[in-house]
Amino acid sequence: MSKPASNNPSGSWKIILLLITAGAAALMISPVSADTGVTIAEKGVVTITAIGDQSYYMGEKVVFSGVNSDSDSTYLFIIGPNLPNGGGKLYSPHQTPVSGDPGTFTSVKTKPDKTWEYTWYTSNGELGAGTYTFYAVSQAKTKDKFNDVTTYGTTSIILKKPFITADISPSPVSKGQPFTVKGIAEGIPPAVQIWIIGDNYVFNTTTSVNPDASFTFTGDTQLSGKLPKGQCYLIVQHPMADNQFDFVVSGDYVRNLKLNNSTNIFRITGPGSLQGSDAADALMAAISDQEADDHTLTSDMYTLVPFRVTGAGPVFGAAAEEGVTIAASGVRSYYQGEKVVFSGHNYDSDSTYLFITGPGTFMTGPGVPNGGGKLTSPRQEVVSGNSGSFDIVKTKADKSWEYVYYTHNLNVDAGSYMVYAVSQPKAKDQLNGVSSANVGIILKKPFITAELVPSAVSKGQSFTVKGTAEGDPPAVQIWIIGDNYVFNTTTPVNPDASFTFNGDTQLLEKLPKGQCYLIVQHSMQNNQFDIDVSGDYVRSLKLNNGTNIFRISGPGSLQGSDTADALVAALSDPNNGDDTFTVIPFIVDDMGTSVPQSQPITTTPVPNQTQHSPLQYAPIGAGALVIVGIVLWKRH
């Protein structure tokens, strides 16, 4: 027999009372962020920045610092060219970190005030020149394991190879008249070494480098009076990252201090010594051979300035009346994409033949041939006697010549190159007895930096993106990405390489709260953006002459960090072109109190909120619900 239903509702109201009490208890718990699902008390921040202008010569130290309000240790790793996809440990960049294994990361303790600092030395020899991004994470997690609650920050830096340029003035040098050697030794070594070589003559000294990387050496009348007439060679030697000269004079010999712990390599004075161009060639070959296979950037490099010495008398501004001369416009250091004007005199022939020498190996394969490459196609070997394999410029009636050289689309690595001007179509190994001259130039890879101002981004308040786009592109492309939000535009680059983009209040009203990403894209030397937006898609213009690679808006599109990661991956893929970029993650809030994850803050961060009594979170609402529940229960 079934049990009859009860007409007494008090049991139901007991259940109601329990539910109301449970709801009140839930209200007493600290609020939950609707954006992340993480309690406000638990939500922290990690930032990272590099002191300075974010552009460093290899051998310099970089000081990273930031804030970590989320954990007691900050875990660092690096991503960049030729490194593992998952990144690398700072001092072992080819060692990939493993999520959950703190020992595979570079880690630094968070201080009591929630700040951290780490000094990184760039002379470990495992990284090439280029753009690198550094991650600071509150947990030992690799990038592929990040999720919505991972707190991290990033910053990008440029690593540049040190280089040296020099000029001698006046040229030619007159015996008994003073002259000056001036130049730039980037990387700012304490000193450079100066060699002046002629027939039966060698002069060797060092001169200090100023804080702005410039150096000056003055040859007095006594020194110039000893110079032999005719062809001489000025060689200025840079000690590179270890600030130690590898090649020095020891007695009658040039000695290599790094070869078998010090070895004489050729005789430069005394009986049987090399003379003039032979001595200069031997010194340059020794320095170049050691530098060629050095990835630590501690092997010396040099620049060469051939010059002539005439008889006594003021000849300032005069050109030599025999042979060939060459000079390069500007400071002889150029971003790929810039133009260079070469000029000089040729007193020996009606045509001047040009070719270039440089690194024998590039990252993508073979480099410039040993005998030299065509100036406009450096990997194409010049052939003695074949004038068509050279770039040719006609000598003018006044024996001068000029050639405008465009450095875009050369398919070469950044580095040091030597440009030769020759009176006949002869390669480097057949210049004996042929009038020639050369000038050293540096080709640098363009780069980009950016910052977000102010550091606290609030909806409805204006902000500014400022930065530098070296290499003189006409514009940069700005991307701002958040959940269900993408903004894309271009902004022009000023003649001084700076750019500014102002985000107005209308733009900021549309920004979603929470994590957003600013990506600034550099078009590099072809001045064309290889990645752009086409309808609802991000498209690669270099892939199959235009290919959609992922959906950025509309149904099925990627969102937030997934969109930013996909864009970064597309820009990093060499198959999609050569564009470079910088990334700034930042937070958008309503009150202007956020801290962008790419920038450190100087004030002490607010620690996690302490738990207060539940009544402070719900002093009225929860109690009222309980009282109402009790009254209703009694009435029933």
| Pair 309, 175: CB distance under 8 Å | yes
> SS3 for 20?
helix
Query: Residue range 207-211: average pLDDT?
Result: 93
- 611 exposed, middle or buried (CB, 10 Å; 0-12, 13-18, 19+)? exposed
Task: State the pLDDT at residue 612.
Answer: 30
C-alpha distances in Å from residue 153, one per residue of 43, 596, 597? 14, 8, 4
- 209 exposed, middle or buried (CB, 10 Å; 0-12, 13-18, 19+)? buried
Name residue, tokens 């600030």. Answer: 243
Name residue, tokens 């930096």. Answer: 449
pLDDT in tens, 366-402: 889 989 999 999 999 999 999 999 999 999 998 999 9
For 315-346, the three-class secondary structure string (H helix, E strand, C coil) is CCCCCCCCCECCEECCCCEEEECEEEEEEEEE
Query: Beta partners for 460?
Result: none
Rounded to an integer, what distance in angstroms lies between the CA atom of residue 566 and that of residue 548?
A: 12
Task: State the pLDDT at residue 372.
Answer: 94
Question: Over 80: is that where the pLDDT of 216 sits?
Answer: yes
Residues 6+ apart with CB under 8 A from 94: 83, 84, 88, 126
Range 45-158 has CATH code 2.60.40.1930: yes
Residues 6+ apart with CB under 8 A from 278: none
Query: Residue range 547-565: average pLDDT?
Result: 90
* CA dihedral sign of residues 136, 138, 140, 145: negative
Encode burial over 27-56: b for 16+ CB neighbours within 10 A, e otherwise.
ebeeeeeebeeeeeeebbbbbbbbeeebbb
> What percent of the chain has pLDDT above 70?
82
551: left (phi over 0), alpha (psi -120 to 50) or beta: beta
Task: State the pLDDT at residue 266.
Answer: 95
Own/partner pairs for 125-128, CB < 8 Å, 24+ apart?
125/295, 125/296, 125/297, 125/298, 126/92, 126/93, 126/94, 126/295, 127/58, 127/80, 127/93, 127/159, 128/81, 128/82, 128/159, 128/295, 128/363
Of 522, 532, 475, 463, the residue nearest 499 (C-alpha): 475
pLDDT band for position 124 (cuts 50, 70, 90)? low
Query: Residue range 100-106: average pLDDT?
Result: 92
Task: State the pLDDT at residue 591.
Answer: 58
* Residue with more model confidence, 334 or 283: 283
Question: Over 90: is that where the pLDDT of 634 sits?
Answer: no
pLDDT band for position 501 (cuts 50, 70, 90)? very high
Lowest pLDDT segment from 123-137, 393-407, 605-619: 605-619
Question: Over 50: is that where the pLDDT of 19 sits?
Answer: no
- How many CB atoms are closer than 10 A to CB 392? 14
- 407 exposed, middle or buried (CB, 10 Å; 0-12, 13-18, 19+)? buried
Task: State the pLDDT at residue 443.
Answer: 84
Question: Over 80: is that where the pLDDT of 137 sits?
Answer: yes
Query: Residue range 425-448: average pLDDT?
Result: 85
**Parallel/antiparallel/unpaired status of strands 230-238 and 191-198:** antiparallel
Task: State the pLDDT at residue 593.
Answer: 40
The amino acid that residue 229 corresponds to is K
Q: Give the residue extent of every domain in the chain.
A: 10-30+612-635, 45-158, 161-318, 319-445, 447-604
Question: Over 70: is that where the pLDDT of 1 sits?
Answer: no
| Pair 280, 197: CB distance under 8 Å | yes
pLDDT band for position 43 (cuts 50, 70, 90)? low
User: Among 2.60.34.10, 3.40.50.150, 2.60.40.10, 3.30.1490.20, what is the CATH number of 447-604?
Assistant: 2.60.40.10
Q: Residue 535 is encoded by which pair of tokens?
A: 């309808």
- How many CB atoms are closer than 10 A to CB 438? 21
Rounded to an integer, what distance in angstroms lies between the CA atom of residue 158 and that of residue 585?
A: 18
Query: Residue range 243-257: average pLDDT?
Result: 94
> SS3 for 21?
helix
Rounded to an integer, what distance in angstroms lies between the CA atom of residue 303 and that of residue 371?
A: 18
Task: State the pLDDT at residue 269.
Answer: 93
Task: State the pLDDT at residue 507.
Answer: 80
Query: Beta partners for 306?
Result: 233
C-alpha distances in Å from residue 316, one per residue of 168, 319, 635? 12, 9, 113
| CATH number of the domain located at residue range(s) 161-318 in this protein | 2.60.40.1930
Task: Report the predicted TM-score, pTM, of the whole model to 2 decimal places.
Answer: 0.48
| Pair 505, 462: CB distance under 8 Å | yes
Rounded to an integer, what distance in angstroms lies between the CA atom of residue 460 and that of residue 586?
A: 16
Rounded to an integer, what distance in angstroms lies between the CA atom of residue 630 and that of residue 636?
A: 10
Query: Residue range 452-464: average pLDDT?
Result: 79
Of 343, 320, 339, the residue nearest 395 (C-alpha): 343
pLDDT in tens, 459-475: 777 889 988 888 778 99
Query: Residue range 583-588: average pLDDT?
Result: 84
| CATH number of the domain located at residue range(s) 319-445 in this protein | 2.60.40.1930
Query: Residue range 158-185: average pLDDT?
Result: 86
* Residue with more model confidence, 77 or 243: 77
Residue 137 φ/ψ, nearest 5 degrees: -130, 145
Task: State the pLDDT at residue 40.
Answer: 34
Cis check: omega of the bond before 170, within 30 degrees of 0 = yes
The amino acid that residue 313 corresponds to is G
* Residue with more model confidence, 285 or 597: 285
Task: State the pLDDT at residue 234.
Answer: 94
- How many CB atoms are closer than 10 A to CB 553? 17
**Mean pLDDT, the chain, whole residue set:** 80
Rounded to an integer, what distance in angstroms lies between the CA atom of residue 309 and that of residue 362?
A: 38
Rounded to an integer, what distance in angstroms lies between the CA atom of residue 322 and that of residue 303?
A: 23
Q: Residue 420 is encoded by which pair of tokens?
A: 């030769």
> SS3 for 230?
strand
The amino acid that residue 207 corresponds to is T
Question: Over 70: is that where the pLDDT of 606 sits?
Answer: no
Question: Over 70: is that where the pLDDT of 616 sits?
Answer: no
Give residue 232's Cα distance to chain centre: 38
Question: Over 70: is that where the pLDDT of 64 sits?
Answer: yes
Residues 6+ apart with CB under 8 A from 168: 179, 180, 181, 234, 305, 307
Rounded to an integer, what distance in angstroms lies between the CA atom of residue 595 and that of residue 209?
A: 40
350: left (phi over 0), alpha (psi -120 to 50) or beta: alpha
Query: Residue range 513-538: average pLDDT?
Result: 89
Task: State the pLDDT at residue 552.
Answer: 93
Task: State the pLDDT at residue 598.
Answer: 38
Of 468, 464, 535, 529, the residue nearest 495 (C-alpha): 468
Query: Residue range 545-551: average pLDDT?
Result: 89
Residues 6+ apart with CB under 8 A from 128: 81, 82, 159, 295, 363
pLDDT band for position 492 (cuts 50, 70, 90)? very high
The amino acid that residue 274 corresponds to is L
Question: How many CA atoms, within 13 angstroms, populate the side-chain half-sphere of residue 13?
Answer: 14
| Pair 32, 162: CB distance under 8 Å | no
Question: How many CA atoms, within 13 angstroms, populate the side-chain half-sphere of residue 166?
Answer: 30
| Crossing angle between the packed helical segments 621-635 and 10-28, to the nearest 10 degrees | 170
Cis check: omega of the bond before 172, within 30 degrees of 0 = yes
For 274-310, the DSSP string reads --HHHHHHHHHHHHHHHHHT-SSS-S-EEEEEEEEEE
- 257 exposed, middle or buried (CB, 10 Å; 0-12, 13-18, 19+)? middle
Lowest pLDDT segment from 71-85, 313-327, 463-477: 313-327
Task: State the pLDDT at residue 611.
Answer: 30
Task: State the pLDDT at residue 32.
Answer: 39
Query: Residue range 469-492: average pLDDT?
Result: 90
Sequence length of the chain is: 636
Question: Over 60: is that where the pLDDT of 14 sits?
Answer: no
Lowest pLDDT segment from 95-99, 167-171, 394-398, 421-425: 167-171
Question: Over 50: is that where the pLDDT of 333 sits?
Answer: yes
* Residue with more model confidence, 321 or 586: 586
